[in-house]
Amino acid sequence: MGANEHGVCIGNEAVWTREPVSPGEALLGMDLVRLGLERGDSAWTALNVITELLQQHGQGGACREDPEPFSYHNTFLLVDRREAWVLETAGKLWAAQKITEGVKNISNQLTIGADISAEHPELRSVAQARGWWSGEGEFSFTAALSPDQPPARMELAKQRYRGGTALLRQHDGSVTAEVMMGILRDKDSGICMDSGGFRTTGSMVSILPRDPTRPCVHFFTATPDPSRSVFKPFIFSECVSPVAMVISPQYGPDDPVRKQPRFQHKVDRQHDLYRAHQAAVKSMESDPDVGASLQEIMRYLESQCLQDIEAMLRGDLQGQELGDLFFDCVDTELKFYQ
C-alpha cells in the first residue's frame, strides 16, 4: 500500500482464481502498486497503468523471501480526492468497479459481480471459451473467475471480508481517520492478524480532502500489528525530511533478491523503528503493567496528533512544518521506546 504526491492511494490483496498462477518471474502485486503510484496522477490513471503493465508483462513470481515459491494474483483499491475504484485481476484478465457511494473493502477474494465499470476487452470471450461462462445472461466476474476449489486461506478470508464490511457499514457516513484506525486494529474480524504464521505487517489510513487547497494526510504505523503500534502522519510537501529510521537496510549487489537463484540466504531488513518497536513489544509482554502504561502514553500522543491534524484541515492551525511532521513523530516514538 502507499500514496503519492497527487493524493492517489493504492492497496492490494492476494487472490487466487481459475487462471493459473505462475511462479516464474513477472510483476508482483507490490510492483504494480509502486508503479501505479509512480506514474498515476489520479486513481483512474493508476488503474490504467496497472492494467497496461499486466498486459505487457503479466503477474506472478515469488512473493516472499523463501526458496519455496509462494505466488498469487491481486486485487486493488485505488482512490484519490474524487474517485474510488476496485480492480480485480486474474492473470492478464481484469474487471474494475467504480465505487460511487457507501463503503467498500477487499480481502483475499473476488468481490466484483455484474456491476462492472470497465474490463479487459477479451474478458468475456476468454471466460466463455474456457467454459467459465455460458455466454448467456448476466456476466459476473466473481462467479466466472472464482476457483472451484479455493485455497484454505481464501475460505478464511470470507470471515475477514464480512467483518470488515460490517464494521465499515456500522460507521457509513461518519468514517473518520480514528474510526479507520479502530477497524484496522480489530482482531475479532481477523483484520488485525497475528496468527497462522501471518501478522499484519503495517497499516495506513489516509485523509483525502475534496478541497484541493487542503493537504492529503497519510498515517502510517511503519511497524507490525496496529493494535500495538502508533499511527504517524505524513504530508507531502516541498521539503520533506528523509526518515532513515524507517528505511530498511540496503545490501547492494549482495542482496539475495538480486542474485540468481534468488533467496538462497536471508538478510536482516529490520529498520531502526521496527527493532525498537519489537523490543518494546517484548517488554510489554513480560511486564503487562509497564506495557499498558506505555501503550496508554502512545495512544494519547496519537489522539493529540489526530486532533491537531483535524484542526489544520479545518484551517484552525497554520504554519506547521509539514515536511518534518512524520520525522518528528517517528523520533518521538523511538525516544519513548528507549
pLDDT of residue 25: 86
Sign of the alpha-carbon torsion through 65, 68, 73, 74: negative
Q: Quote the longest CA-to-CA distance of the chain.
A: 65
Per-residue pLDDT reduced to its tens digit, 241-299? 789 999 999 999 989 988 888 888 899 999 999 999 999 999 888 998 888 888 898 89
pLDDT at 319: 53
pLDDT at 105: 96
> What is the three-state SS of 168-228?
HHHCCCCCCHHHHHHHHCCCCCCCCCEECCEECCCCEEEECCCCCCCCCEEEECCCCCHHH
Take residue 25 and report the three cell numbers written for it: 518471474
**304: exposed, middle or buried (C-beta count within 10 Å: 0-12, 13-18, 19+)?**
exposed
| pLDDT value for 66 | 82
Residue 331: helix, strand or coil by DSSP?
A: helix
What is the model's pLDDT at position 237?
87
| Residue recorded with cell 489522539 | 303
Mean pLDDT split into 10-residue runs, the chain, 338 residues: 97 94 89 98 98 96 83 96 98 97 94 97 98 96 93 82 96 95 94 80 96 94 94 90 92 89 89 95 88 89 90 73 86 91
Q: Using the 8-state DSSP alphabet, how is residue 121 labeled?
A: T
Grid coordinates representing 269? 531488513
Q: What is the pLDDT of residue 78?
A: 98
Hey, what's the cell of 310? 483535524
Query: Counting Cβ atoms within 10 Å, is residue 134 exposed (0-12), middle (13-18) or buried (19+)?
Result: exposed
The angle formed by the CA atoms of residues 195, 199 and 205, to the nearest 5 degrees, is: 130
Q: How far apart are alpha carbons 115 and 162 in whole angstroms?
A: 19
Element (H, E) at 335: helix 325-337
For 221, list phi and psi in degrees, rounded to 5: -80, -40
Query: Which long-range contacts does 180-186 make (Cβ < 8 Å, 24+ apart)?
Result: 180/205, 181/205, 181/219, 181/226, 181/231, 181/302, 184/226, 185/226, 185/227
Q: Give φ, ψ of 218 to 5 degrees.
A: -120, 120
Helix axes 325-337, 272-286, angle to 10 degrees: 40
